[in-house]
């Protein structure tokens, strides 16, 4: 199985930046997005507070603006939460199931699935984040753990739903640590995920972007992007530096993640 999707490089800003630095980083990210628009989808998942501001300011650029989380509920007595219908006018996509949400907010696969459904129902793409802990990898369970996360959250989607799905494989032990999966292990996991998606709908599987995340930097990005089933990256720390982010996007264009890699095969 090979992928035939455009590569995506998505920055996850997490809970960082004040409004001035957020605006200037968004501007730099929009320039990067415009420069590479024909070859790479460039997005940023940003704190919800800045979403309307940044989305309206950069509406006419190629930058994809997204949220980091969303409530599974459309409206109601859910203090502090933000719903999919609130995000939808501003966002192209929303992350769901990031390991920091699973870890710090006790999110389980059922909740992740409900969030994913809310996102897709409200006309956004869902970027489903999955990944094993260090102990799970050492025990030899990484493929099973991640496979279960994928199927529990997205195993009910039909071809229409799968058109709005992206998956990010982010090993928990590689996030913010400077450690990465080996490109071969990341490729094996991406191929496993694509195989599971093929089990849901064979025709959709090559079209679902599968990204790698976990300490992606300009120096290591080309190694991941040259793997056949890795269609880009979800970038944390390095997305906060415009120069680093630009280099990673250029690597996706040059090494030909996704569609370009497929053409080269
Ligand atoms: P780092 O790139 O900082 O390791 O973060 C990865 C991540 O969690 C992206 O969602």
**pLDDT tens track, the chain, 265 positions:** 678 899 999 999 999 999 999 999 999 999 999 999 999 999 999 999 999 999 999 999 999 999 999 999 999 999 999 999 999 999 999 999 999 999 999 999 999 999 999 999 999 999 999 999 999 999 999 999 999 999 999 999 999 999 999 999 999 999 999 999 999 999 999 999 999 999 999 999 999 999 999 999 999 999 999 999 999 999 999 999 999 999 999 999 998 665 544 444 3
- Burial (0-12, 13-18, 19+ Cβ within 10 Å), 132: buried
CATH architecture of 8-264: Alpha-Beta Barrel (3.20)
Query: Which pLDDT tens digit goes with each residue over 160-205?
Result: 999 999 999 999 999 999 999 999 999 999 999 999 999 999 999 9
Give the Å distance between the CA of 245 and the centre of ligand 1. Answer: 12
Paired with 75 in beta bridges are none
Quote the mean pLDDT of the chain: 95
DSSP string, the chain: ----SPPEEEEE--S---HHHHHHHHHHHHHHHHHTTTT-EEEEEE-GGGHHHHHHHTTTSSPEEEES--BSSSSSS-TT--BHHHHTTT-SEEEES-HHHHHHH---HHHHHHHHHHHHHTT-EEEEEE---HHHHHTT-HHHHHHHHHHHHHTT--HHHHTTEEEEE--GGGTTTS----HHHHHHHHHHHHHHHHHH-TTTGGGS-EEEESS--TTTHHHHHTSTT--EEEESGGGGSHHHHHHHHHHHHHHTTTHHHHHH-
| Per-residue pLDDT, 259 | 53
The reply to whether ligand 1 has any atom less than 6 angstroms from the CB of 235 is yes
> Considering only CA atoms, which residue is closest to atom 7 of ligand 1?
236
> Considering only CA atoms, which residue is closest to atom 2 of ligand 1?
236
Residue of 235, 238, 240, 247 with the most ligand 1 atoms within 8 Å of its CB, for mutation: 235
Give the Å distance between the CA of 38 and the centre of ligand 1. Answer: 25
pTM value?
0.96
Q: Where are the domains of the chain?
A: 8-264
Residue of 8, 237, 239 with the most ligand 1 atoms within 8 Å of its CB, for mutation: 237
The minimum-distance atom of ligand 1 relative to the CA of 237 is 3
Query: Which pLDDT tens digit goes with each residue over 139-149?
Result: 999 999 999 99
| Per-residue pLDDT, 258 | 56
């Amino acid at each position: 199985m090979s992928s035939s999707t455009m590569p995506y490089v998505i920055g996850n800003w997490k809970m960082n930046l004040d409004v001035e630095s957020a605006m200037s980083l968004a501007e730099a990210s929009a320039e990067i997005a415009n420069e590479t628009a024909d070859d790479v989808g460039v997005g940023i998942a940003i704190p919800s507070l800045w979403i309307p501001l940044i989305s309206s300011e950069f509406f006419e650029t190629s930058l994809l603006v997204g949220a980091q989380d969303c409530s599974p509920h459309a409206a109601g007595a859910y203090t502090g939460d933000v719903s999919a219908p609130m995000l939808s006018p501003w966002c192209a996509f929303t992350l769901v199931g990031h390991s920091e949400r699973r870890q710090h907010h006790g999110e389980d696969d059922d909740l992740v699935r409900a969030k994913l459904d809310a996102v897709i129902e409200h006309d956004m793409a869902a970027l489903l984040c999955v990944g094993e802990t260090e102990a799970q990898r050492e025990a030899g369970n990484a493929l099973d753990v991640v496979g279960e996360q994928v199927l529990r959250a997205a195993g009910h989607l039909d071809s229409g739903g799968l058109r709005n799905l992206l998956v990010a494989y982010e090993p928990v032990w590689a996030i913010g640590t400077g450690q990465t999966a080996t490109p071969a292990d990341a490729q094996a996991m991406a191929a496993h995920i694509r195989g599971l998606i093929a089990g849901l709908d064979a025709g959709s599987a090559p079209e679902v972007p599968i990204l790698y995340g976990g300490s992606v930097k300009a120096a290591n990005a080309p190694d991941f992007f040259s793997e056949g089933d890795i269609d880009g990256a979800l970038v944390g720390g390095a997305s906060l530096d415009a120069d680093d982010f630009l280099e990673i996007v250029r690597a996706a264009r040059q090494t030909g993640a996704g569609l370009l890699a497929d053409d080269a095969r």
